[in-house]
Amino acid sequence: MSSTFRNLCRSSPWKWTSLRFEYRDLPGDGSGPIKAWLRRPGALRLESADGVLLHSTTGINDSRDSFYVRSSRSSWLLPAHLVTPVYDGAGLVRRRPEAAYGEPSFGNGRLAAALDPVELAGNAPVPIEFPESNPVALGPVREVDHEGRPALECVVVPGPNYSPADAGFPLCLPGRTRLRIDSGTGVCVASEALDGGHAGSGHWIRILGVDEYMLDDLFLAESMNLSDVRQHISWEPGAQSG
């Protein structure tokens, strides 16, 4: 189960393209969860619990001039879903290829890390002779239900090679941390520190929809008044002229 847990942590970029969910940091402040819509690679909309827009962007207006393209190797990397990883027998990612990884986020890096929790496993398995070089040490892995969806839960401890995407907001805090990874998406849907002064800190995600169709208009701060083709548009034929 430990290899399954780690491979699931590497699999998120190939398991979904859009996600609708609720997110809250732990411990909560009583304001309710943030409502989120995310469409890869760069579209994110966040609303407060009472529907106030907090953040919205598609990234479609980002530009790259010729100097940037010539000088930055990363500009030539393909999005993860366009490259093929090495899968295990269960269809989970055992080894990730070089690609343009990265999730949109807001406020801090914990949300982006939770959406693609590869920091818990690394891009590939470590040599069998050096298990201590894994980013985190895993306790027993068990199957659980998280907000109506199957997930894998494990208590982990960071190792010397643990390198969080955002050092100020790691998924795995010092000491023991309880983690849950959604089995269908590879998203880290819950983290909770169990030791020390950080006890109780972490996050909680409730997944509401996976791979739903999302228009650009959803992610713009000001609507372009595009028609949402998911909704039926009624049409009444005009009266015929005599």
Q: Which helix (H) or strand (E) holds 205?
A: strand 202-210
Q: Is the pLDDT of residue 180 over 90?
A: yes
Q: Is the pLDDT of residue 62 over 80?
A: no
Backbone torsions φ then ψ of 156, nearest 5 degrees: -125, 160
Instruction: Say how far apart CA 210 and CA 207 lie, in whole Å.
Output: 8
What is the per-residue pLDDT across 83-140, written as a single tens digit (0 to 9) for each?
999 999 999 999 999 988 888 877 788 999 999 999 999 999 888 878 788 999 999 9
219, 41 contact by CB (below 8 A): no
B/e letters for 124-154, b = 16+ CB within 10 Å, e = fewer, are ebbeeeeeeebbbbbeebeeeebbebebbbb
Give the pLDDT score at 217: 83
What is the per-residue pLDDT across 192-201, written as a single tens digit (0 to 9) for each?
999 988 899 9
- For the chain, domains (ranges, CATH) are 2-219 (2.50.20)
